[in-house]
Chain A
Amino acid sequence: MTGANAPYGSLSWRGASLAAKEINAAGGVLGHKIELVRGDSQCTPVEGVLGLQRMISSDHIQFVLGDICSSATLAYEPIVENAKVLLINAASSDPTITYKAGVGGYKWTFRNYPTDEQRAGIVLKYASEQRHLHKIAILSVDNDYGRGAIALSKKFFQRYGITVVSEDYFQASTTEFLPELNKIKSSGAQAILMYGYAASSRLVARQMLESGLAGKIALIGNGDFTNPQTIKAAPSVLNGAIEAAAWSPDYDSARSKSFVHDYEAAYGGEVPQVHAFTHWETINLLAAAIRKAGSVDPAAVKQALAGISFDGATGVVKFDNHDQADLPMILYQVENGKPVIKGVFRTAVVYPKP
């Protein structure tokens, strides 16, 4: 029931499994037990499509959660449309997924996760208005996620008075950033706008330390900046880093706290991460939609989901006419080696005119 990508895939699986176990222990939904099946997309459309087709034809699944990777999710949309299987995404952030859903075309795709567009806007708003960072250097990962996030950020540059001094993209395998950092150092940038993964963030932070940029240039964007291991790589560099996330374990709500507690109890003290949370939450959302529909028939559940008002851990979850959930994002700033919540923001998605 979920497309998986190690290690995010296995974390998502843990979240989803916990939700299924809890629901089944409480008697299931409408007398049915939730049974999870998993397939591995390896983060590629081809493998993902194959796995999904196998799950549809051999495992007779009715609902799919997936994928982590946007490119795979985009490939699933036409397939679930043909198969009349309900796809609820809980981790892909490419805005085009829901540009094309609901009134945009695909009727069987829903997303319960904020998009990169929402994230990009929130980060830049905070950076420019609260921190007065207006001169930025772009340094992002060279793939759909990194390039996409920067393309979306550019929509906001004018609104927040931001000028760009340089724009560079790195491979996930790039290990050497000193030449770029030297260039950024002499360009007078106040911040580095980076969309990347934890591994590259550690390297960039470490090499910023080497080139004497600690405390002079802030890291903003998304790249596991608030992860303790990233902070440990270069604490003085990460101080002042800004990142927006869909959820984090210290989010203050009763439902969120009880999830963290149950998750830690179920997995030997492991602290849940955002994908574990979103998949746990989305299984619960699905169960609520099934109860509302009074049936496990995917078409009825789809109807129910479109009009649902679900009390989630981060507020009420509702879907817009593109079947995109309206979700808040939490803004973090690293202070004294610890991530601190600086606010919870919501932005409506602006859909392109057809």
Chain B
Amino acid sequence: MPGIAIGGRYAAPQVAGGVLIAACLVLFPLVASSYQLSTLIVSMVFLLPAIGLNLILGYTGMLSLAQMGFFGVGGYTSALIAMHFGTPFWLNFVAACLVPALLAAPLAIPALRLRHTSFVMCTIAFVFIIESVSKNWVGLTRGDMGLSSVPRPRIGLWSDGFIVHTTVQYYYLGLLLCALAVAALVAIVRSPAGRYMIAIREDEILAASVGGRTWHYRLAAFVLSAAFAGAGGSYYVHYVTVISPTVFDPSYTNTVLVVVLGGGVGTIAGPILGSVVFVALSEALRIAPELRMVVYGLVLTTSVFAFPKGLIAPLTSALRGAVQPKARGPHDR
């Protein structure tokens, strides 16, 4: 997938490497078992909200723990319109990106006045409030009983089309969505607005002084990150075909954090690597879920001190013999 990130600043070996990895991912189902594919499908479910977190944390320096709240809103939106109107997947998906984004905008207005710890707490409270609504608005969400028998994704322009149902088909659908999401992230961070967001992360006061209102860009980043999370929710809900308020469990938020920070925050490839490595790790530790969470805890704590640039940094430096200058996390002072 890094092959999507082709651009002027990328050297030829990087492009070649990206194309090679992309080709491997496309051809992978030829050799993989359906279990390995379903593991990668879960990686991609977490990658989509992780890309959103990467945008807001890695490029504007704001730690939002609300991603899985918007993920759930996207999932519920997608499921509900598919169940009530029998809409095709593309429409469910677009709605699942739009509704969380529209919800994020009014929430962001007060939240963005807050800084640091207060902002983080506020984002945790959002998830809790969304969870409360999903539990108590029984008429819409069926409360704790959740929605089941969510239709499988129907790929078609309007009424007919092809229904995704095998693991291989879900894999390609996920690959397509992740490729789109990565392309969108690249487009955002390389646009003038994206460069300005990075300037905010590095020094907000300086960024404000060279022009523009930092507030607009932080709002844009928050809203866009919600849209990425909603995209993940849509893919998730049409894959597992059930959704209930358990989707707001903090453990999923922790997984997204591990994917982004363990992989490498503020880089395009970091969370991609993170999603594959950490979901594979959790599969390896499936027999002992507590042990898996212990490992996640260790990854989070040590990532702060030992590898603030994530797993991707040593990997890229080993590959290229030099550290990528962009691979700078918000933890560096």
Binding site for B on A (CB under 8 A): 39-40, 42, 44-46, 49-51, 53-54, 56-58, 71, 74-75, 78, 82, 94, 96, 100, 142-144, 146-148, 151
Contacts and interface: CB of A to CB of B under 8 A. Distances in A.
B167 interface: yes
A261 B55 CA distance: 61
B33 A71 contact: no
B240 A75 contact: yes
Given A74-B242, A96-B148, A46 B42 contact: yes
Contact of B242 (A50, A71, A147, A148): A71
Given A40-B287, A78-B241, A53 B144 contact: no
Contacts of A94: 145
B240 A49 contact: yes
Given A71-B246, A75-B241, A82-B165, A57 B148 contact: no
Given A57-B33, A143-B144, A71 B135 contact: no
B240 A144 contact: no
Given A45-B240, A45-B246, A74-B242, 14 more contacts: A40-B289, A44-B249, A53-B34, A53-B38, A53-B167, A57-B35, A58-B33, A58-B35, A75-B241, A82-B165, A144-B146, A146-B144, A147-B143, A147-B144
A49 B148 CA distance: 13
A53 B240 contact: no
7 pairs of A and B residues whose beta carbons are closest in the complex: A57-B34, A54-B35, A57-B35, A74-B148, A144-B144, A45-B242, A75-B242
B256 to A, nearest CB: 14
Contacts of B241: 75, 78
Nearest to A58: B35
* Size category of the binding interface on chain B: 20 to 34
A105 to B, nearest CB: 9
B254 interface: no
Interface string B249-260: 100000000000
B39 interface: yes
B149 interface: yes
A50 B38 contact: yes
Contacts of A45: 240, 242, 244, 246
17 contacts: A40-B286, A42-B289, A44-B249, A45-B240, A45-B244, A49-B38, A50-B39, A50-B283, A53-B35, A56-B34, A75-B148, A100-B149, A142-B135, A144-B146, A146-B144, A147-B144, A147-B145
A74 B35 CA distance: 20
Nearest to A78: B241
A144 B242 CA distance: 13
Contacts of B286: 39-40, 51
Contacts of A100: 149
A261 B313 CA distance: 61
A146 B35 CA distance: 34
B38 A71 contact: no
A71 B146 CA distance: 8
A253 B332 CA distance: 70
Interface string B7-51: 000000000000000000000000001110011001000000000
Nearest to B135: A142
Most buried by A among B138, B143, B144: B144
B40 to A, nearest CB: 11
